[in-house]
DNA sequence: TTACAGAATAACAACGTTGTTATCCGATGC
DNA sequence: GCATCGGATAACAACGTTGTTATTCTGTAA
């Protein structure tokens, strides 16, 4: 079925080792011959056999990604990008939506070159994995090298900025259920910022949602806006919550930024699909993916990354925020 | 790094071909020897080398799944299940979230045994793929063998049922934008049913949403319920729309089924997470996944399933529907 | 012309596995 | 006691590729 290197060799009238070298662009073969061989290979529709190649090279050029939470939109954006970047380095990404342990097992069987784990948990059980593992999540006492975003500082940055332009009534909308450490970190950052700026955290400054979906944000903010003491600035804990919040604000016939300034967490590309520009705080997706890609290549090369990498968030302000005199 | 079959052979004092046979449970090797070899292999932590194995067997035991629309929850449920089922047949699932053409290319390079494509489009461009392709979507003039759900009949069934228990004012809520052929089919089924039962399609029987998300359903239904001539029964075009509809109904202080009966499309497990049981119409997920798995194994073996498979929906009624005298 | 360097290409082993074929050895039948 | 049979295991080729080593060929200097 498949056309092999030997078929090409026969067609070109050379030995098969020459073909191999020609296709790998080795300097050991004369340019004209090389050109001719490549042309013939293309014509025959030659596809290198991955199995044979990785058998001899002892590498699969494949990276396994463990992604148990398929639902999270932010992760989807990350994975798509990482996938692209790795392809540039001629690695193929392999996704598994199984449970973490089971996925790690499978990837060990498949002998991928490295495993990337997306997990909310702060640590993974210590599995015996022959393959190096990188995790993206919380770098608190990690077992494996980890890439993490400093969510606490992100929200802190936002509070400080809003304070600096005169806001006195700032609210944070997000999941305060303490189930998810990632969300918890944001709340801590908010509280820290409020204490720093105002020496207190008013009861109604934290707007609780019960989930991270659009509707959760919509409902929570709408309920809050119907009460007195309307905040002049809101920090939204995630992309979907921002979407819901904006709908709630529109529905109340309020204006961004004249009535309410908004800063959204999550620095993902979709943020540009809103009707109006929205200020954001977070680590740009591109930086996250670059870092992860680089870290993966590093752990493959055995450049042991002992330290975890913690990324610093950036603030991007535009007309969704206005100062208060 | 890896412990090979030869290491096991040396440790067991037998030839490596004997080890191979013992591990594949061949009758050619004596039971006691077999047992001993397996024990030693386990002890050494032997993992068969996939590359070598697929090099000789000319199979990768891997199936590529093209999944360009990561966001759709219904697809996530399907894929998870298919993944499980294939694992039972010792196939590994490989996900790609790239564009369809690019993904098919990659999978050809990796020489997977078959490709499963999730696509809204009614047909794929005729790519030169050496690997057999199965698609899940619309089986209208398909190029590749296709597994399809008869969405038209599903909604038709629902209309007929509601009519049979006395409803005179039935509405369908769904995406009527005609962008998506899958959604379009449902609308056609609804219209057909209405004509069949009532000889007409009232203008307000179709409740348009502009998307398939929860909030889209919520907003559209709420708007509709504020108008006169409230429907006594509603058919929801998808799981997320059902969720939104239920919220709208609750918010208006209406009761299911006393004020409004509900039937939801999408026969997925999550449907059981609602506060109350909801009647559904559609093909149970398990049947879809079984069919797809079987079809995949078939095209791998025979390389030729000429006919597409169209699945017939089922109606599952419970207390979310009540008759009208 | 012969010898020889250096480039170009051919030959070959190796990667880890599987299926086929060959070998060994004990038991059986005459 | 010898040939034979058959079960158990060993030996080996093959899968398609790459890196190393061996061979051929070309052009140049003695």
Provide the pLDDT for residue B85. Answer: 92
User: Of A71, A83, A111, which is closest to B50 when you measure between CB atoms?
Assistant: A111
> Does residue B35 sit in the same domain as residue B78?
no
Q: What is the mean pLDDT of the segment spanning A270-291?
A: 86
3-class DSSP state of A275: coil
Asked whether strand D has any atom less than 7 Å from the CB of A23, the reply is yes
Pairwise CB contact (< 8 Å): B109 & A50 = yes
What is the distance in angstroms between the Cα of B97 and the nearest Cα belonging to chain A?
7
What's chain B's average pLDDT?
87
**Same domain for A125 and A196?**
no
Considering the domain architecture, whether residues A41 and A190 belong to the same structural domain is answered as no
**Which pLDDT value is given to residue A121?**
63
Q: A109 with A255, same domain? A: no
**pLDDT tens-place string over residues A38-49:** 999 999 989 999
pLDDT-wise least confident of A269-278, B70-79, B158-167: B70-79
Higher pLDDT, B308 or B312: B312
Angle between helices A73-88 and A239-251 (to 10 degrees): 140
For A117-171, the pLDDT digits (tens) are: 987 664 555 556 788 999 887 767 778 888 989 999 999 999 999 999 999 999 9
User: CB of A289 within 8 Å of any CB in chain B?
Assistant: no
Q: What is the domain extent for residue A101?
A: 62-149+286-311
Alpha carbons A299 and A301: distance in angstroms, whole number: 5
A97 vs B79, B109, B130: nearest CB: B79
Q: What residues of B are in contact with residue A76 (Cβ under 8 Å)?
A: 70-71, 97
Is A320 within a domain? no
Whole-number distance in Å between A15 CA and C9 C1': 8
Q: For residue B292, what pLDDT is reported? A: 95
- Tell whether B325 is covered by a domain: no
Q: What is the pLDDT of residue B306?
A: 66
Q: Is the dihedral of CA A23, A29, A31, A37 positive or negative?
A: negative
A2 touches B: beta carbon within 8 Å: yes
Contacts with A106 from chain B: Cβ below 8 Å: 92
Asked if B87 and B192 sit in the same domain, the reply is no
Q: State residue B304's pLDDT score.
A: 64
Residue of B76, B93, B94 with shortest CB distance to A70:
B76
A interface mutation test: which of B2, B42, B70 has the most A CBs within 10 A?
A: B70
Least confident of A91-105, A240-254, A264-278, B213-227: A264-278
CB < 8 Å to B70, chain A = 70, 76, 80
CA distance A75 to A90: 22
Contact B114, B300 (CB under 8 A): yes
Q: From the CA of A27 to the C1' of D29: give the distance in Å.
A: 27
Burial degree of B7 (CB within 10 A; 0-12, 13-18, 19+)? middle
Q: Do residues A145 and A173 share a domain?
A: no
Instruction: Tell me: do A167 and A119 sit in the same domain.
Output: no
Angle among Cα A185, A190, A194 to the nearest 5 degrees reads 150
Gap between the Cα atoms of A190 and A258, Å rounded: 23
pLDDT band at B70 (very low <50, low <70, confident <90, very high): low
Residue B217 lies in a domain: yes
Output the pLDDT for position B65: 92
| Span B16-28, pLDDT tens digits | 999 999 998 888 8
Assign residue A11 the CATH number of its domain: 1.10.260.40
User: Do A103 and A197 reside in the same domain of the chain?
Assistant: no
Note the pLDDT tens digit of each residue in B35-56. 999 999 999 989 999 999 999 9
C-alpha A241/C-alpha A300 separation (Å) is: 37
What's the pLDDT at A150? 93
Residue B106: which pLDDT band, with cuts at 50, 70 and 90?
Answer: confident
Same domain, B223 and B125: no
Q: Where are the beta strands (DSSP E) in B99-175?
A: 114-118, 133-136, 146-149, 170-175
Q: Which of A10-24, A90-104, B305-319 has the highest mean pLDDT?
A: A10-24
Whether B228 contacts chain A with CB within 8 A: no
pLDDT number for residue B325? 77
**If you write DSSP's letter for every residue of B294-308 in order, what string do you get?**
HHHHHHHHHS---S-
Distance CA B242, CA B256 (A): 12
Domain count, chain A: 3
The beta-strand segments (E) located in chain A are 62-66, 92-96, 114-118, 133-136, 146-149, 170-175, 206-209, 233-236, 261-265, 279-282, 309-311, 314-316
The more confident residue out of B72 and A159 is A159
For B145-197, write each residue's pLDDT tens digit: 889 899 999 999 999 999 999 999 999 999 877 677 778 899 999 999 999 99
Asked whether residue A72 carries a pLDDT value surpassing 80, the answer given is no
Chain C, protein-covered positions (CB within 7 A): 7-20
pLDDT tens figures, B262-284: 999 987 766 666 778 899 999 99
- Asked whether residue B321 is domain-assigned, the answer is no
Shared domain check, B229 and B306: no
Confidence of residue B71 (pLDDT cuts 50, 70, 90): low
Q: Work out if A57's Cβ lies within 7 angstroms of strand D.
A: yes
Query: Who wins on pLDDT, B198 or B268?
Result: B198
Q: Is the pLDDT of residue B123 over 60?
A: no
| Residue A179 in this model has a pLDDT that exceeds 80 | no
Residue given tokens 């193929």 in the structure block? A92
What does the mean pLDDT of chain A come to?
87
Asked if pLDDT for residue B203 goes beyond 70, the answer is: yes
């Amino acid at each position: 079925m498949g056309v092999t290197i030997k078929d090409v060799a026969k067609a070109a009238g050379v030995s098969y080792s020459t073909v191999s070298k020609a296709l790998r662009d080795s300097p050991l073969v004369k340019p004209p011959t090389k050109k001719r061989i490549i042309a013939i290979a293309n014509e025959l529709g030659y596809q290198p056999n991955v199995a044979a190649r990785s058998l001899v090279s002892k590498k699969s050029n494949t990276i396994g990604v463990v992604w148990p939470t398929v639902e999270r939109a932010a992760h989807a954006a990350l994975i798509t990008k990482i996938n692209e970047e790795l392809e540039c380095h001629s690695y193929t990404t392999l996704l598994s939506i199984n449970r973490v342990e089971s996925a790690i097992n499978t990837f060990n069987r498949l002998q991928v070159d490295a495993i990337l784990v997306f997990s909310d948990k702060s640590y993974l059980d210590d599995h015996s994995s022959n393959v190096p593992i990188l995790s993206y999540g919380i770098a608190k006492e990690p077992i494996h090298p980890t890439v993490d975003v400093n969510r606490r500082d992100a929200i802190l940055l936002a509070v400080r900025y809003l304070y600096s332009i005169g806001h006195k009534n700032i609210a944070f909308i997000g999941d305060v259920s303490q189930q998810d450490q990632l969300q918890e970190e944001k709340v801590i950052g908010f509280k820290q910022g409020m204490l720093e700026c105002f020496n207190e955290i008013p009861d109604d400054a934290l707007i609780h949602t019960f989930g991270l979906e659009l509707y959760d944000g919509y409902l929570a903010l709408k309920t809050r806006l119907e009460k007195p003491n309307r905040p002049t600035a809101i920090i939204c804990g995630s992309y979907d919550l921002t979407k819901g919040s904006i709908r709630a604000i529109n529905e109340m016939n309020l204006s961004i930024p004249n009535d309410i300034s908004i800063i959204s967490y999550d620095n993902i590309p979709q943020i540009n699909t809103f009707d109006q520009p929205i200020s954001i705080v977070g680590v740009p997706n591109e930086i996250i993916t670059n870092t992860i890609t680089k870290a993966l290549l590093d752990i493959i090369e055995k450049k042991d990354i002992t330290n975890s990498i913690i990324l610093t968030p950036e603030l991007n302000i535009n007309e969704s925020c206005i100062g208060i005199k």
